[in-house]
Structure 1
Amino acid sequence: MKGITPEQTVEHYENFPVGSFLLPKAFRPAIAVVYHVARYADDLADEGDASAAERLAALDECSAELQRIARGETPHMARFQALAPVVAKYAIPLQLFEDLFSAFRQDVVKTRYQDFGEVIDYCRRSANPVGRILLHIFGQTDARQLALSDGICSALQLVNFWQDVAIDWQKNRVYLPQDDMERFSLTEVDIDRGIATPAFKQLMAFQCDRTRRMLRAGSPLGVQLPGRVGLEIRTIVLAADRVLSKIKLAQYDVFNARPTLTGGDWPAILWQALKVGITKKV
């Protein structure tokens, strides 16, 4: 396959880095292994100049590696060789990785979403498994925690979508729901022009407000989980909320500048996360 080799990962800007220095050191190696597998598979769908058929074949090989792990065989790729003991140690369901791979396959073949339900179904597979994998590593997997994690992770994925409307358009992808576009009288011609029209701003305001409600609904997880694990979750939630605020501050014009977090944002986010830990209310 052209572009991405089995042991290569493309450098990316990450809004919400997981496995940061905030977490206890004991968790970081396992999280790094999971991250590199997920990032590699995601890059197979997005990076390089491979054809759709080549991308799908490469992702199928990732699924084959999971099957080798399930059968107790040695995977072919070093990334998956490293993943096998992590999966065993933390009893991580392999289906969570397969859900990720299915979302990445979908990115290869599906470029439009009819309604918000379709978008959320994508988030269920592209984002939620990451949170569930982390909770397995943390040893915090009751049903309530998993549900809260799903809400946070779906919201994080949506933040990326609204932040990246212009970038995704260059890949011929539109994650804004088609029925919402029709409701707000926005067409793809408007997106192609790269102008934040009144209709575009209204639609983006609607999506960002809905995303913020989802994010805050899941935020109690950050005070339910103990110690530095909870601090990490609170930091990620507050970071996502800050990106939404930056999108709003830019009047939803994500065409001229992609709202991102900078080094100056993180001290304030961390301080707020620490205060929330004291008050126990996100």
Structure 2
Amino acid sequence: MSPSSDTAATAPTLAPLPTHYENFPVASWLCPPRLRPPIAAIYVFARTADDIADEGEASPAQRLADLHAFRADLAAIAQGGAASARWPAVFGPLAHAMRAFALPEALLADLLSAFIQDIEKTRDAGRYADRPELLDYCARSANPVGRLLLHLYGVNEPAALVQSDAICSALQLINFWQDLRVDLPRGRFYLPDADCAAHGIAPAAFDTFRPRGDAPPPHAALALVAAEVAWARGLMQQGTPLVHRLPGRMGWELRLVVQGGLRILDKIEALGFDTFTQRPTVGKADAPLLAWRALRMRRQSTQ
């Protein structure tokens, strides 16, 4: 037996449960039991790739090399072959899910494309010129996850895909505006240049008030974040009708995802839009409010 065959034989077929903080539930009890394994496999694939791109002290060159190796393993299992021995907890469960549920390789590959772009942008001090360019990134960094979930649920209507993309892009934008305190010191800059210019801010100006806790950010910067929050909220509202298209547990899961994202926006607003020095999160204390808001969405849909 070859080393790759031996690895395939011993690789796990179930992904571990999520351990990272997330703004939304992942493979929760609301998810139909038969779909929890593939959803967990998708999550672990995406989270591991994201960690390769963003965590630790590796150089950009090493991160890119690792992600290309990760992409090669994805291609191998998509073709029915065996992955390398580097990430058995990722590609064992994912290979099983791809076979059982015909998961599209292209959507998974799009996620890796976005992570590679992140590394290159950060390495080159790159920025996003405008909102369309940032949404193009979201189309690969976030939207594939929604489309993979709809695939698992057998939902493929064009209108549903468009609404899913709006929700996922909104969630990605919310994560950006939530994480300014973390991203700016790392050289990760998602505020579009055109939006900065509209508020009279040169992108380089953000270097002078990266979070040190010794001075508040200027009013123009807070107004800029307020505008980005409004953009994300509007995009989420465009996608929200999808919750009424999806039956049963699937619809409830999505309601909580939507409300988790909107709750972060509420918390950003409550901070006076100052996520340059504070990072809002959702936690157990928010659960009753999220459940009530999800139930209210249900009631509104029946009126």
Tell me if TM exceeds 0.5. yes
Q: Distance in 2 between matches of 1:45 and 1:128?
A: 18
| Residues 1:103 and 1:8: Cα distance change in structure 2 (over 3 Å) | farther
Aligned-partner residue type, residue 29 of structure 2: F
Q: Distance in 2 between matches of 1:229 and 1:245?
A: 24
Aligned-partner residue type, residue 162 of structure 2: A
C-alpha offsets along residues 240-268 of structure 1, whole Å, 9 cap, x if unaligned? 11111111111101133211113211111
Checking the alignment, whether the CA contact within 8 Å between 1:114 and 1:179 is kept in structure 2 is yes
Shift of 1:18: 2.3
Does residue 180 (structure 1) correspond to residue 185 (structure 2)? The answer is no
Does residue 267 (structure 1) correspond to residue 267 (structure 2)? The answer is no
Shift of 1:83: 0.8
Q: Which residue of 2 aligns with 1:189?
A: 205
Q: Which runs of 5+ in 1 are unaligned?
A: 1-6
C-alpha offsets along residues 50-107 of structure 1, whole Å, 9 cap, x if unaligned? 1111111111111111211232112223211221121122222100111000000011
* Structure 1 runs, 4 residues or longer, greater than 3 Å off: 7-11
Q: Distance in 2 between matches of 1:28 and 1:191?
A: 43
Does residue 60 (structure 1) correspond to residue 68 (structure 2)? The answer is yes
Q: Which residue of 1 aligns with 2:97?
A: 86
Shift of 1:34: 1.0
Q: Which residue of 2 aligns with 1:133?
A: 148
Query: Pairwise CA RMSD of aligned residues?
Result: 2.0
| Residues 1:185 and 1:11: Cα distance change in structure 2 (over 3 Å) | farther
Q: Which residue of 2 aligns with 1:163?
A: 178
Does residue 73 (structure 1) correspond to residue 81 (structure 2)? The answer is yes
Shift of 1:8: 10
Q: Distance in 1 between matches of 2:265 and 2:97?
A: 34
Q: Distance in 2 between matches of 1:216 and 1:31?
A: 25
Q: Distance in 1 between matches of 2:16 and 2:193?
A: 35
| Residues 1:148 and 1:133: Cα distance change in structure 2 (over 3 Å) | same
| Residues 1:28 and 1:238: Cα distance change in structure 2 (over 3 Å) | same
Q: Distance in 1 between matches of 2:273 and 2:299?
A: 33
Does residue 113 (structure 1) correspond to residue 128 (structure 2)? The answer is yes
Checking the alignment, whether the CA contact within 8 Å between 2:143 and 2:165 is kept in structure 1 is yes
Aligned-partner residue type, residue 107 of structure 2: L
User: Which SS does the other structure have where 1:219 is aligned?
Assistant: helix
C-alpha offsets along residues 194-247 of structure 1, whole Å, 9 cap, x if unaligned? 433110111111111111010010001111100110001011111111111111
Does residue 204 (structure 1) correspond to residue 234 (structure 2)? The answer is no
Checking the alignment, whether the CA contact within 8 Å between 1:9 and 1:43 is kept in structure 2 is no
Q: 2:271 aligns with which of 243, 250, 255?
A: 250
- Highest Rg: 1 or 2? 2
Aligned-partner residue type, residue 27 of structure 2: G
Q: Distance in 2 between matches of 1:91 and 1:143?
A: 19
Aligned-partner residue type, residue 179 of structure 1: A
Aligned-partner residue type, residue 221 of structure 1: L
Aligned-partner residue type, residue 131 of structure 2: F
Shift of 1:133: 0.8
Shift of 1:11: 5.0
Q: Distance in 2 between matches of 1:192 and 1:245?
A: 27
Instruction: Answer with 208-217 or 252-261: which moved more.
Output: 252-261
Aligned residue pair count: 276
User: Which SS does the other structure have where 2:284 is aligned?
Assistant: coil
| Residues 1:8 and 1:91: Cα distance change in structure 2 (over 3 Å) | closer
Q: 2:52 aligns with which of 37, 44, 52?
A: 44
Q: Which runs of 5+ in 2 are unaligned?
A: 1-14
Checking the alignment, whether the CA contact within 8 Å between 2:181 and 2:278 is kept in structure 1 is no
Aligned-partner residue type, residue 127 of structure 1: A
Shift of 1:281: 6.6
Normalised to the residue count of structure 2, the TM-score between the two structures is 0.86
Q: Distance in 1 between matches of 2:218 and 2:32?
A: 46
